[in-house]
A and B are shown apart, each in its own frame.
Chain A
């Protein structure tokens, strides 16, 4: 190799030769004429960054020990300087993050962002969603309040439903027969480590996106717009603007409505002899809690909840229509609309008591969930492929 320094380049670019091309690629990245839903990724990035940093600082004060976990959280709230602020960023941030995450996934569903050539973007995103759900669940256990303890008890016992190995697996995961100090320590390490793993997957997700480019919401419409413009500065400013609005909502949530989504019972230390009267999960995990509850058999509930997520992974192959945008696909529009309603129904069902009304509503919602993805989308795709023939209408890669 030639070790002489080219005089025209800067110190950094002579040592990191890919830096400048990378920055140029980022700045010039061609963006189709996307709408405001395409700013959610930037919001998620900011939300994750805040969660990551606040989590790191909280972990300096948190003690993953059965006898001290609850008190260390109280110490963060009461006497660590600014600890309450960092913790409120973390506990409020999780709701903001999931709200943006579900909207981001919903946008992908509606505009067909999962389709051919973007499968890896979709799959890496789904993997990330599962990681986020696991992280959130593990994190919720850490304060070791009543809701933490009983939420963890209910979910870990769902594992017991796996035939044959269920109980053994549960004991293996918990490290002992019941949920205790060993499990708490494991949950803490899991929660802490997943933050770094998610950061890596975010990198992969963005890498995949930059391979194929953003999807274009105008393509299936009557007036497709194929012009692109470079990411900087227009979309940088647009994303910053969206982040501003996102942060304002974030601030309203944590500074003015801190009890809106929090569970009161979690200020009571865990008591393994007394289940709180209204045990419900956090809203972002409520849909799957509702599914576990709606299926009479424990194993059935576990299978249904897992299948509801797995079906999303199969989406690129279930819907092979060349059309992307649900706005211009009447059947899919109906289906996606129904799915969004079903999802909200499941959230509400999970957060409400196990009354027959909510159980039946969640059963109906689950039916819609699977019908839309397993029947409606493939049928609609089949019909559209017949109409358009083999000609590729959508985007050209």
Chain B
């Protein structure tokens, strides 16, 4: 009964949680834990982060200020950011909840276009799969901004990027990455190629979150089938001889 009720009220609960509960959380849930919490010893190095985890940080702080990721919910990022509180906080900043899609910050396509030199920032849900050139293109393009060469004139809100495929290198996306713009908790230096590669890893993850699990299960299934096939083959050979 209680389980059923909990399931039924899940949605209502989450919405109300996201609106009002952070102070309550600190009061009720965390209070008894605080006294026994110990600070980690200062000598211990911070845990290493996966590239897509760093990529999520870049997405949260940089990409999502123009791009949407409509197919994913804020809560889906739990695969990269295990702290629900942090995800709730991020969603609240954008006036959303864990179960809302990561929507475009622009109220309409027209506003988005007007803010970006006439090109609407595309949705990033499956960009790693659908963009021409795939992840390699994204990685190189993000790090591909160059100073304007002599003889090239650029319209306002246009940036020179010889890798970009649209508008003959006169790209409408303003250079998103700058040296040291993000401090990664694992100590990785935020260079432009590093961030370009991390954010690409994140976009690949967003397109296909289960890649590594899939390969793992696939290997296990094949090993199992090899074992079963071996036993069956032996049995078959035996039966062939017997008959």
Contacts and interface: CB of A to CB of B under 8 A. Distances in A.
Partners in one complex: yes
Contacts of A229: 243
Contact of A252 (B72, B130, B218, B233): B218
Contacts of B26: none
A268 B71 contact: no
Interface string A243-276: 0110110011011101100001101100000000
B76 A245 contact: no
Nearest to B123: A268
Interface string B72-101: 110110000000000000000000000001
Given A229-B243, A251-B218, A245 B129 contact: no
A88 B217 CA distance: 12
Interface stretch (A51-59, A186-194, A233-241, A348-356): A233-241
Contacts of A71: 71, 101
Contacts of A245: 229
Nearest to B129: A264
A74 interface: yes
Given A78-B71, A237-B236, A267-B130, A255 B217 contact: yes
B73 A251 contact: no
A74 B214 CA distance: 17
B232 A241 contact: yes
Contacts of A248: 222, 225-226, 229
B36 to A, nearest CB: 32
B19 interface: no
Contacts of A265: 130
A240 B232 contact: yes
A255 B130 contact: no
How many chain A residues sit at the interface, stated as a range, is 20 to 34
A78 B72 contact: yes
A79 B73 contact: yes
A234 B225 contact: no
Contact of B225 (A88, A238, A247, A254): A247
How many chain B residues sit at the interface, stated as a range, is 20 to 34
B218 A237 contact: no
Contacts of A85: 210, 214, 217
A323 B72 CA distance: 60
A84 interface: yes
Contacts of A237: 232, 235-236, 239
Contacts of A268: 126, 130
B228 interface: yes
Given A79-B75, A234-B243, A255-B218, A244 B225 contact: yes
B126 A267 contact: yes
A8 to B, nearest CB: 31
A261 to B, nearest CB: 14
A35 B129 CA distance: 42
Given A237-B239, A267-B126, A256 B225 contact: no
A258 B215 CA distance: 11
B79 to A, nearest CB: 9
Interface string B179-213: 00000000000000000000000000001011000
Nearest to B71: A74
B228 A233 contact: no
Contacts of A255: 214-215, 217-219, 221-222
A251 B76 contact: no
Given A71-B71, A234-B243, A244-B232, A258 B214 contact: yes
A267 B72 CA distance: 13
Contacts of A258: 214
Interface of B: 71-73, 75-76, 101, 125-126, 129-130, 207, 209-210, 214-215, 217-219, 221-222, 225-226, 228-229, 232-233, 235-236, 239-240, 243
Given A234-B236, A251-B222, 6 more contacts: A78-B71, A84-B210, A234-B239, A241-B229, A241-B236, A251-B218
3 tightest A-B CB contacts, nearest first: A255-B218, A244-B229, A267-B126
Interface of A: 71, 74, 78-79, 84-85, 88, 229, 233-234, 237-238, 240-241, 244-245, 247-248, 251-252, 254-256, 258-259, 264-265, 267-268
